[in-house]
Amino acid sequence: MRIGVVGAGIIGLAVARRLAELRPDATVTVLEKESDIATHQTGRNSGVVHAGIYYAPGSLKARLCRLGVAQLHAYCTERKIPYEECGKLVVAVDESEVGRLRELERRATENGVPGMRWLEGDELREIEPHAAGVAGLHSPTTAITDYRAVARAFRDDLETGGGSVVLGAPVTAIVVGADTVRVRAGEEEREFDRLVVCAGVYSDRLARLAGDEDEPVIVPFRGEYHRLAPGREDLVRGLLYPVPDPAYPFLGVHFTRRVSGGVDVGPNAVLALAREGYRRRDVRIGDLAATLRSPGFRRLARRHWRMGARELRGSLWRGAFAAEARRYVPTLRTEDLVPGPAGIRAQALDPDGSLVDDFRIRHLGQVTVVRNAPSPGATSSMAIADHIADEVLRAS
Protein backbone atom coordinates (compact mmCIF):
# COMPACT_ATOMS: atom_id res chain seq x y z
CA MET A 1 0.00 0.00 0.00
CA ARG A 2 1.30 3.46 -0.90
CA ILE A 3 0.17 6.20 1.48
CA GLY A 4 0.77 9.90 0.88
CA VAL A 5 0.47 12.58 3.55
CA VAL A 6 0.41 16.28 2.63
CA GLY A 7 2.03 18.56 5.22
CA ALA A 8 4.92 18.04 7.62
CA GLY A 9 3.42 19.83 10.59
CA ILE A 10 2.92 17.91 13.81
CA ILE A 11 -0.36 16.34 12.66
CA GLY A 12 0.89 15.16 9.25
CA LEU A 13 4.02 13.70 10.83
CA ALA A 14 2.08 12.04 13.66
CA VAL A 15 -0.33 10.48 11.15
CA ALA A 16 2.50 9.29 8.87
CA ARG A 17 4.43 7.83 11.82
CA ARG A 18 1.37 5.96 13.09
CA LEU A 19 0.45 4.58 9.66
CA ALA A 20 4.02 3.34 9.14
CA GLU A 21 3.91 1.72 12.57
CA LEU A 22 0.55 -0.02 11.97
CA ARG A 23 1.39 -1.11 8.42
CA PRO A 24 5.12 -1.84 8.15
CA ASP A 25 4.49 -3.21 4.64
CA ALA A 26 3.17 0.18 3.42
CA THR A 27 5.28 2.96 1.87
CA VAL A 28 4.47 6.19 3.68
CA THR A 29 5.58 9.48 2.08
CA VAL A 30 5.07 12.96 3.52
CA LEU A 31 5.05 15.81 0.98
CA GLU A 32 5.98 19.22 2.39
CA LYS A 33 6.24 22.45 0.42
CA GLU A 34 8.79 24.12 2.71
CA SER A 35 12.49 23.29 3.02
CA ASP A 36 12.04 22.11 6.62
CA ILE A 37 9.37 20.50 8.78
CA ALA A 38 7.21 22.30 11.40
CA THR A 39 7.71 25.79 9.98
CA HIS A 40 4.11 26.98 10.35
CA GLN A 41 1.60 26.46 13.20
CA THR A 42 3.62 23.66 14.77
CA GLY A 43 6.75 25.76 15.12
CA ARG A 44 4.96 28.98 16.04
CA ASN A 45 2.54 28.09 18.80
CA SER A 46 2.40 28.61 22.57
CA GLY A 47 3.97 25.25 23.46
CA VAL A 48 1.21 24.40 25.93
CA VAL A 49 0.10 20.82 26.56
CA HIS A 50 -3.54 21.52 27.32
CA ALA A 51 -5.17 19.36 29.97
CA GLY A 52 -8.68 19.43 28.41
CA ILE A 53 -10.39 22.03 30.59
CA TYR A 54 -12.28 24.02 27.97
CA TYR A 55 -13.75 21.60 25.48
CA ALA A 56 -17.40 20.59 25.22
CA PRO A 57 -17.70 17.16 26.87
CA GLY A 58 -18.10 14.45 24.26
CA SER A 59 -16.51 16.52 21.48
CA LEU A 60 -13.56 15.21 19.48
CA LYS A 61 -11.45 17.95 21.07
CA ALA A 62 -12.33 16.82 24.60
CA ARG A 63 -11.72 13.15 23.85
CA LEU A 64 -8.59 13.44 21.72
CA CYS A 65 -7.02 16.06 23.98
CA ARG A 66 -7.27 13.84 27.06
CA LEU A 67 -5.95 10.83 25.14
CA GLY A 68 -3.30 12.98 23.47
CA VAL A 69 -1.94 14.41 26.73
CA ALA A 70 -1.30 10.94 28.14
CA GLN A 71 0.40 9.79 24.94
CA LEU A 72 2.47 12.95 24.58
CA HIS A 73 3.60 12.88 28.20
CA ALA A 74 4.79 9.28 27.86
CA TYR A 75 6.42 10.00 24.49
CA CYS A 76 8.31 13.09 25.69
CA THR A 77 9.53 11.19 28.74
CA GLU A 78 10.74 8.28 26.61
CA ARG A 79 12.40 10.53 24.00
CA LYS A 80 13.81 12.99 26.56
CA ILE A 81 11.94 15.95 25.07
CA PRO A 82 11.30 18.77 27.58
CA TYR A 83 7.93 18.34 29.30
CA GLU A 84 7.29 20.50 32.30
CA GLU A 85 4.08 20.36 34.35
CA CYS A 86 4.21 24.01 35.37
CA GLY A 87 0.43 24.19 35.92
CA LYS A 88 -2.18 26.62 34.68
CA LEU A 89 -4.26 29.11 36.64
CA VAL A 90 -7.42 30.41 34.94
CA VAL A 91 -8.58 33.53 36.75
CA ALA A 92 -11.89 35.37 36.99
CA VAL A 93 -10.89 39.02 37.36
CA ASP A 94 -14.30 40.05 38.72
CA GLU A 95 -17.60 38.58 39.88
CA SER A 96 -19.08 38.76 36.36
CA GLU A 97 -16.66 36.01 35.24
CA VAL A 98 -17.20 33.62 38.16
CA GLY A 99 -20.21 31.89 36.58
CA ARG A 100 -18.23 31.11 33.44
CA LEU A 101 -15.30 29.86 35.53
CA ARG A 102 -17.70 27.49 37.35
CA GLU A 103 -18.83 26.22 33.94
CA LEU A 104 -15.18 25.53 33.06
CA GLU A 105 -14.80 23.63 36.32
CA ARG A 106 -17.83 21.52 35.38
CA ARG A 107 -16.43 20.80 31.92
CA ALA A 108 -12.99 19.94 33.28
CA THR A 109 -14.54 17.48 35.73
CA GLU A 110 -16.66 15.89 33.03
CA ASN A 111 -13.64 15.64 30.73
CA GLY A 112 -11.68 13.85 33.45
CA VAL A 113 -8.99 16.50 33.93
CA PRO A 114 -7.06 15.43 37.04
CA GLY A 115 -6.19 17.55 40.09
CA MET A 116 -8.38 20.61 39.37
CA ARG A 117 -8.76 22.97 42.34
CA TRP A 118 -11.07 25.95 42.87
CA LEU A 119 -9.15 28.82 44.55
CA GLU A 120 -10.17 32.11 46.11
CA GLY A 121 -8.40 35.10 47.65
CA ASP A 122 -4.95 34.35 49.03
CA GLU A 123 -4.99 30.77 47.69
CA LEU A 124 -4.72 32.29 44.25
CA ARG A 125 -1.68 34.35 45.24
CA GLU A 126 0.02 31.21 46.61
CA ILE A 127 0.08 29.85 43.05
CA GLU A 128 0.67 33.15 41.20
CA PRO A 129 1.81 35.87 43.64
CA HIS A 130 1.35 38.72 41.14
CA ALA A 131 -2.06 37.68 39.76
CA ALA A 132 -5.25 39.66 40.27
CA GLY A 133 -8.64 37.99 40.44
CA VAL A 134 -11.50 37.02 42.69
CA ALA A 135 -11.40 33.29 41.90
CA GLY A 136 -9.23 30.85 40.03
CA LEU A 137 -9.24 27.34 38.66
CA HIS A 138 -5.88 25.61 38.94
CA SER A 139 -4.82 22.72 36.72
CA PRO A 140 -1.54 21.37 38.10
CA THR A 141 -0.96 18.95 35.19
CA THR A 142 -1.14 21.49 32.36
CA ALA A 143 2.35 21.40 30.88
CA ILE A 144 4.70 23.02 28.39
CA THR A 145 6.84 21.34 25.77
CA ASP A 146 8.77 21.98 22.56
CA TYR A 147 6.51 20.97 19.65
CA ARG A 148 9.26 21.39 17.07
CA ALA A 149 11.30 18.80 18.96
CA VAL A 150 8.25 16.50 19.09
CA ALA A 151 7.79 16.90 15.32
CA ARG A 152 11.47 16.09 14.71
CA ALA A 153 11.14 12.95 16.82
CA PHE A 154 8.03 11.90 14.84
CA ARG A 155 10.00 12.33 11.60
CA ASP A 156 12.85 10.21 12.99
CA ASP A 157 10.40 7.44 13.92
CA LEU A 158 8.84 7.59 10.46
CA GLU A 159 12.20 7.34 8.74
CA THR A 160 13.32 4.53 11.04
CA GLY A 161 10.13 2.70 10.06
CA GLY A 162 10.99 3.04 6.36
CA GLY A 163 8.87 6.11 5.54
CA SER A 164 10.16 9.40 4.13
CA VAL A 165 9.60 13.15 4.17
CA VAL A 166 10.05 14.95 0.84
CA LEU A 167 10.79 18.64 1.38
CA GLY A 168 10.30 21.38 -1.22
CA ALA A 169 7.34 19.46 -2.66
CA PRO A 170 4.29 21.73 -2.92
CA VAL A 171 1.18 19.78 -3.83
CA THR A 172 -0.63 21.61 -6.62
CA ALA A 173 -2.97 18.97 -8.06
CA ILE A 174 -4.87 15.97 -6.71
CA VAL A 175 -6.74 13.65 -9.06
CA VAL A 176 -8.86 10.99 -7.42
CA GLY A 177 -9.28 7.89 -9.59
CA ALA A 178 -11.26 4.71 -9.05
CA ASP A 179 -8.68 3.10 -6.74
CA THR A 180 -5.74 5.46 -6.60
CA VAL A 181 -4.95 9.13 -6.09
CA ARG A 182 -2.50 10.98 -8.36
CA VAL A 183 -0.74 13.93 -6.86
CA ARG A 184 1.44 16.59 -8.46
CA ALA A 185 4.11 17.65 -5.95
CA GLY A 186 6.67 20.11 -7.26
CA GLU A 187 7.99 18.73 -10.54
CA GLU A 188 6.85 15.19 -9.86
CA GLU A 189 3.68 13.15 -10.27
CA ARG A 190 3.10 10.51 -7.61
CA GLU A 191 0.47 7.85 -7.20
CA PHE A 192 -0.93 6.66 -3.88
CA ASP A 193 -3.57 4.23 -2.68
CA ARG A 194 -4.50 6.55 0.18
CA LEU A 195 -3.89 10.25 0.75
CA VAL A 196 -4.20 12.19 4.03
CA VAL A 197 -4.19 15.99 3.82
CA CYS A 198 -2.90 17.85 6.90
CA ALA A 199 -2.13 21.20 5.28
CA GLY A 200 -2.93 23.62 8.11
CA VAL A 201 -3.75 27.04 6.76
CA TYR A 202 -4.15 25.62 3.22
CA SER A 203 -6.36 22.68 4.18
CA ASP A 204 -9.48 24.15 2.53
CA ARG A 205 -7.70 24.71 -0.79
CA LEU A 206 -6.27 21.21 -0.86
CA ALA A 207 -9.60 19.73 0.21
CA ARG A 208 -11.18 21.43 -2.78
CA LEU A 209 -8.44 20.06 -5.07
CA ALA A 210 -9.38 16.60 -3.79
CA GLY A 211 -13.04 17.20 -4.64
CA ASP A 212 -14.36 18.10 -1.19
CA GLU A 213 -16.86 20.88 -0.49
CA ASP A 214 -15.78 24.54 -0.51
CA GLU A 215 -16.82 25.09 3.10
CA PRO A 216 -15.60 25.51 5.70
CA VAL A 217 -13.05 28.03 4.48
CA ILE A 218 -9.93 28.82 6.44
CA VAL A 219 -9.64 32.33 7.82
CA PRO A 220 -6.09 33.03 8.92
CA PHE A 221 -5.85 34.82 12.26
CA ARG A 222 -2.41 36.11 13.18
CA GLY A 223 -1.51 35.77 16.84
CA GLU A 224 1.16 38.21 17.93
CA TYR A 225 3.13 37.65 21.11
CA HIS A 226 4.96 39.98 23.40
CA ARG A 227 7.56 38.71 25.85
CA LEU A 228 8.23 39.73 29.42
CA ALA A 229 11.46 41.72 29.35
CA PRO A 230 14.55 40.08 30.86
CA GLY A 231 14.45 40.51 34.62
CA ARG A 232 10.62 40.64 34.71
CA GLU A 233 9.93 36.97 33.94
CA ASP A 234 9.26 36.31 37.62
CA LEU A 235 5.90 38.12 37.31
CA VAL A 236 4.45 34.73 36.34
CA ARG A 237 5.44 31.28 37.63
CA GLY A 238 3.52 28.98 35.28
CA LEU A 239 0.63 29.65 32.90
CA LEU A 240 -1.85 32.40 33.70
CA TYR A 241 -5.01 32.47 31.54
CA PRO A 242 -8.23 34.46 31.35
CA VAL A 243 -11.70 32.92 31.49
CA PRO A 244 -12.50 32.46 27.81
CA ASP A 245 -15.49 34.22 26.34
CA PRO A 246 -17.55 31.47 24.66
CA ALA A 247 -18.05 33.75 21.64
CA TYR A 248 -14.28 34.25 21.20
CA PRO A 249 -12.67 31.16 22.71
CA PHE A 250 -9.11 31.92 21.62
CA LEU A 251 -9.07 35.57 22.71
CA GLY A 252 -7.74 37.10 25.89
CA VAL A 253 -4.20 37.79 27.03
CA HIS A 254 -2.40 34.65 28.19
CA PHE A 255 0.89 34.50 30.08
CA THR A 256 2.80 31.43 28.95
CA ARG A 257 6.08 30.16 30.34
CA ARG A 258 8.36 28.55 27.74
CA VAL A 259 10.53 25.47 28.13
CA SER A 260 13.38 27.46 26.59
CA GLY A 261 13.01 30.12 29.33
CA GLY A 262 11.10 33.39 29.40
CA VAL A 263 7.40 34.18 29.38
CA ASP A 264 5.26 35.01 26.34
CA VAL A 265 2.28 37.32 26.67
CA GLY A 266 -0.39 36.82 24.02
CA PRO A 267 -1.28 35.81 21.39
CA ASN A 268 -3.91 38.28 20.23
CA ALA A 269 -5.96 37.55 17.09
CA VAL A 270 -5.96 39.87 14.09
CA LEU A 271 -6.99 38.99 10.55
CA ALA A 272 -3.86 38.04 8.59
CA LEU A 273 -3.72 39.66 5.16
CA ALA A 274 -1.72 36.69 3.83
CA ARG A 275 -2.15 33.08 4.90
CA GLU A 276 1.48 32.84 5.87
CA GLY A 277 1.93 36.55 6.59
CA TYR A 278 3.71 36.68 9.91
CA ARG A 279 4.45 40.39 9.68
CA ARG A 280 1.80 43.09 9.69
CA ARG A 281 2.99 44.36 6.31
CA ASP A 282 2.63 40.95 4.58
CA VAL A 283 -0.26 41.10 2.12
CA ARG A 284 -1.29 38.62 -0.58
CA ILE A 285 -4.10 39.97 -2.65
CA GLY A 286 -5.34 36.46 -3.59
CA ASP A 287 -5.55 35.36 0.04
CA LEU A 288 -7.20 38.58 1.15
CA ALA A 289 -9.73 38.51 -1.71
CA ALA A 290 -10.62 34.88 -0.87
CA THR A 291 -11.27 35.85 2.77
CA LEU A 292 -13.34 38.90 1.90
CA ARG A 293 -15.37 36.96 -0.68
CA SER A 294 -16.35 34.28 1.79
CA PRO A 295 -19.95 34.70 3.04
CA GLY A 296 -18.93 33.22 6.40
CA PHE A 297 -16.24 35.86 6.89
CA ARG A 298 -18.61 38.69 5.98
CA ARG A 299 -21.14 37.47 8.54
CA LEU A 300 -18.39 37.09 11.15
CA ALA A 301 -17.09 40.60 10.45
CA ARG A 302 -20.56 42.15 10.67
CA ARG A 303 -21.22 40.44 14.00
CA HIS A 304 -17.86 40.89 15.65
CA TRP A 305 -16.28 44.03 14.15
CA ARG A 306 -16.04 45.70 17.57
CA MET A 307 -13.97 42.85 18.96
CA GLY A 308 -11.86 42.89 15.78
CA ALA A 309 -11.19 46.58 16.21
CA ARG A 310 -10.16 46.02 19.84
CA GLU A 311 -7.69 43.31 18.85
CA LEU A 312 -6.28 45.54 16.11
CA ARG A 313 -5.82 48.38 18.58
CA GLY A 314 -3.86 46.04 20.88
CA SER A 315 -1.80 44.94 17.88
CA LEU A 316 -0.89 48.47 16.81
CA TRP A 317 -0.41 49.97 20.26
CA ARG A 318 1.66 48.23 22.92
CA GLY A 319 0.06 50.41 25.62
CA ALA A 320 -3.39 48.98 24.83
CA PHE A 321 -2.02 45.44 24.90
CA ALA A 322 -0.31 46.14 28.24
CA ALA A 323 -3.51 47.60 29.70
CA GLU A 324 -5.34 44.36 28.84
CA ALA A 325 -2.52 42.29 30.37
CA ARG A 326 -2.59 44.42 33.55
CA ARG A 327 -6.10 43.16 34.32
CA TYR A 328 -4.37 39.89 35.25
CA VAL A 329 -1.02 41.19 36.54
CA PRO A 330 -1.59 44.73 37.91
CA THR A 331 2.12 45.46 38.50
CA LEU A 332 3.00 44.91 34.83
CA ARG A 333 4.31 48.07 33.15
CA THR A 334 4.17 48.78 29.42
CA GLU A 335 7.98 48.72 29.27
CA ASP A 336 7.94 45.17 30.72
CA LEU A 337 6.74 43.96 27.31
CA VAL A 338 9.09 43.45 24.38
CA PRO A 339 8.00 42.31 20.90
CA GLY A 340 7.87 38.56 20.39
CA PRO A 341 7.17 36.23 17.46
CA ALA A 342 3.85 35.61 15.68
CA GLY A 343 1.90 32.58 14.55
CA ILE A 344 -1.09 32.12 12.26
CA ARG A 345 -4.07 30.03 13.28
CA ALA A 346 -5.76 27.97 10.60
CA GLN A 347 -9.30 28.60 11.80
CA ALA A 348 -12.14 27.10 9.80
CA LEU A 349 -15.28 29.14 9.38
CA ASP A 350 -18.73 27.80 8.53
CA PRO A 351 -20.83 29.69 5.94
CA ASP A 352 -23.10 31.04 8.71
CA GLY A 353 -20.11 32.95 10.09
CA SER A 354 -19.46 30.72 13.11
CA LEU A 355 -15.98 29.53 13.94
CA VAL A 356 -15.77 25.75 13.65
CA ASP A 357 -15.15 24.78 17.23
CA ASP A 358 -14.40 21.06 17.08
CA PHE A 359 -11.74 19.22 15.11
CA ARG A 360 -13.17 18.44 11.70
CA ILE A 361 -11.88 15.49 9.69
CA ARG A 362 -13.52 14.32 6.44
CA HIS A 363 -13.10 10.95 4.79
CA LEU A 364 -13.81 10.94 1.04
CA GLY A 365 -13.01 7.50 -0.29
CA GLN A 366 -9.24 7.24 -0.63
CA VAL A 367 -8.66 10.77 0.64
CA THR A 368 -8.88 12.00 4.23
CA VAL A 369 -8.74 15.73 4.91
CA VAL A 370 -8.13 17.48 8.22
CA ARG A 371 -10.26 20.60 7.74
CA ASN A 372 -10.05 22.10 11.21
CA ALA A 373 -7.34 21.37 13.76
CA PRO A 374 -6.76 24.47 15.86
CA SER A 375 -5.55 24.38 19.47
CA PRO A 376 -5.31 21.84 21.17
CA GLY A 377 -4.22 20.23 17.90
CA ALA A 378 -0.56 19.92 18.89
CA THR A 379 -1.46 18.48 22.30
CA SER A 380 -3.81 15.99 20.66
CA SER A 381 -1.60 15.11 17.67
CA MET A 382 -0.88 11.50 18.66
CA ALA A 383 -4.55 10.80 19.41
CA ILE A 384 -5.64 12.52 16.17
CA ALA A 385 -3.14 10.26 14.37
CA ASP A 386 -4.67 7.11 15.93
CA HIS A 387 -8.14 8.33 15.02
CA ILE A 388 -7.21 9.02 11.38
CA ALA A 389 -5.01 5.95 10.91
CA ASP A 390 -7.78 3.62 12.12
CA GLU A 391 -10.19 5.14 9.65
CA VAL A 392 -7.71 5.14 6.73
CA LEU A 393 -6.80 1.50 7.28
CA ARG A 394 -10.40 0.42 7.91
CA ALA A 395 -11.31 1.80 4.50
CA SER A 396 -8.59 -0.32 2.85
Q: How far is the CB of 243 from ligand FAD (least distance, A)?
A: 17
Q: Between vectors from CA 182 to CA 203 and to CA 3, what angle results, nearest 5°?
A: 75
Residues 148, 152, 157: CA angle, nearest 5 degrees? 145
Mask for 359-378, x = binds ligand FAD (CB under 6 A):
-----------x--xxxxxx
Near ligand FAD by CB under 6 A: residue from 17, 18, 23, 50: 50
CB atoms within 10 A of CB 310: 15
60 near ligand FAD, judged by CB under 6 A: no
Strand partners, 338: 227
Q: Which of 17, 33, 61, 257 binds ligand FAD (CB under 6 A)?
A: 33
Residue 77 vs 96, nearer CB to ligand FAD: 77
Number of residues binding to ligand FAD, judged by CB under 6 A:
42
Q: Quick one: which of 4, 9, 242, 296 contacts ligand FAD (CB under 6 A)? A: 9
7 binds ligand FAD (CB under 6 A): yes
- Confirm or reject binding of residue 8 to ligand FAD (CB under 6 A): yes
376 preceded by cis ω (within 30°)? yes
String of contacts with ligand FAD for each residue 221-250, x by CB under 6 A:
--x---------------------------
For ligand FAD, the binding residues in 149-208 under the rule CB under 6 A are: 170-171, 198-202, 206
Residue type, 391: E
Choice from 75, 226, 343, 366 touching ligand FAD (CB under 6 A): 343
- Strands of 48-49's sheet, edge to edge? 48-49, 143-145, 83-84
Q: How far apart are CA 339 and CA 318, in angstroms?
A: 9
Would you say 104 and 241 are in contact if contact means Cβ atoms under 8 Å apart? no
36 scored as a contact of ligand FAD (CB under 6 A): no
- Length of the chain (residues): 396
Q: b/e map of 175-212 (b: 16 or more CB within 10 Å)?
A: ebeeeebebbbeeeebebbbbbbbbbbbbbbbbebbeb
Q: How far is the CB of 214 from ligand FAD (least distance, A)?
A: 17
If one asks whether residue 116 binds ligand FAD (CB under 6 A), the answer comes out as no
Q: Which residues contact ligand FAD (rule: CB under 6 A)?
A: 6-12, 31-34, 39-42, 44-48, 50, 170-171, 198-202, 206, 223, 267, 343-345, 370, 373-379
